């Protein structure tokens, strides 16, 4: 198990680094990731609130989004803490690779998947539950990008800015970084290569992750586009 003192240090970390360039670069990464992976969540909020009266609909969307952000912060802090444990960065990195490649594959949205309601607090509840279910990809990506910095998590989850292909590459870069810096790999390579040599290994792994995500995503997208479309009633 990770040292409890390390977990406490992670929770209180980051606020003294706000003036540093690295802090703002990581903050932009988190904001970008949050927008890229939150499109489905925005649709869920709109669908859950579509049955409300106009005035209630606005409050439903505001309260639903607010509850979703608070729950996501708690969930992300928990996942970031778990990433202090050996092997979990490798598992998280592999999950993130799948998420990044999937980002390049178009999906058809089904408006009927989200229940509409005429009651404000029921709409907020639907949004909160759906957000928890749908936000695992978002949480893993942001926890990885924050590198244990709680100030980045809190500020980065509050706002955002996008671009899809570059965003998938960014996730791929983080995949490489996360896997290469897992405690098991770091303990094995750093004593043999030295701090500078290990730094170059991490950079190479990050670059390789970005390239692989774009390649796998492109191939996955092409295979989806070449799949035969089955017409309704054709199988009957």
Question: How far, in Å, CA of 21 to CA of 54, rounded?
Answer: 44
Span of 42-46, 120-124, 140-144 with lowest mean pLDDT = 42-46
pLDDT at 14: 57
The pLDDT of residue 162: 39
**pLDDT given for residue 64 in this prediction:** 72
When comparing pLDDT for 227 and 185, which is higher?
185
| Average pLDDT, rounded, for the chain | 68
Categorize the per-residue pLDDT at 92 as very low, low, confident or very high, splitting at 50, 70 and 90: confident
**pLDDT of 190:** 87
Question: pLDDT tens, 161-180?
Answer: 334 455 566 667 777 887 88
Is residue 159 scored above 60 in pLDDT? no
Whether pTM > 0.75 for this model: the answer is: no
Domain segments of the chain as ranges: 4-226
Contacts of residue 120, defined as CB under 8 A and 6 or more positions apart, other chains included, come to 52, 56, 59, 60, 63
Instruction: Please state, in angstroms and rounded to a whole number, the distance separating the CA atoms of residues 37 and 131.
Output: 11
Confidence category of residue 10, pLDDT binned at 50, 70, 90: low
């Amino acid at each position: 198990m990770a040292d409890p003192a390390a977990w406490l240090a992670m929770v209180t970390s980051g606020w003294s680094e706000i003036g540093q360039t690295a802090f703002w670069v990581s903050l932009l990464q988190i904001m970008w990731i949050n927008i890229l992976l939150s499109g489905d969540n925005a649709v869920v909020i709109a669908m859950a609130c579509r049955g409300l009266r106009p005035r209630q609909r606005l409050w439903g969307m505001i309260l639903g989004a607010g509850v979703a952000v608070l729950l996501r912060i708690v969930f992300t802090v928990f996942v970031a803490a778990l990433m202090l444990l050996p092997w979990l960065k490798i598992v998280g990195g592999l999950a993130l690779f799948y998420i990044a490649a999937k980002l390049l594959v178009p999906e058809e949205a089904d408006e009927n998947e989200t229940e509409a309601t005429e009651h404000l607090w029921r709409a907020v509840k639907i949004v909160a539950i759906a957000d928890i279910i749908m936000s695992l990809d978002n949480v893993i990506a942001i926890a990885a990008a924050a590198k244990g910095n709680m100030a980045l998590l809190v500020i980065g989850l509050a706002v955002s800015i996008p671009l899809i292909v570059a965003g998938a590459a960014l996730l791929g870069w983080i995949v490489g970084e996360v896997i290469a810096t897992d405690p098991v790999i770091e303990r094995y390579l750093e004593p043999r290569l030295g701090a500078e040599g290990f730094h170059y290994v991490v950079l190479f792994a990050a670059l390789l992750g970005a390239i692989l995500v774009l390649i796998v995503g492109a191939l996955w997208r092409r295979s989806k586009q070449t799949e035969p479309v089955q017409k309704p009633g054709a199988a009957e």
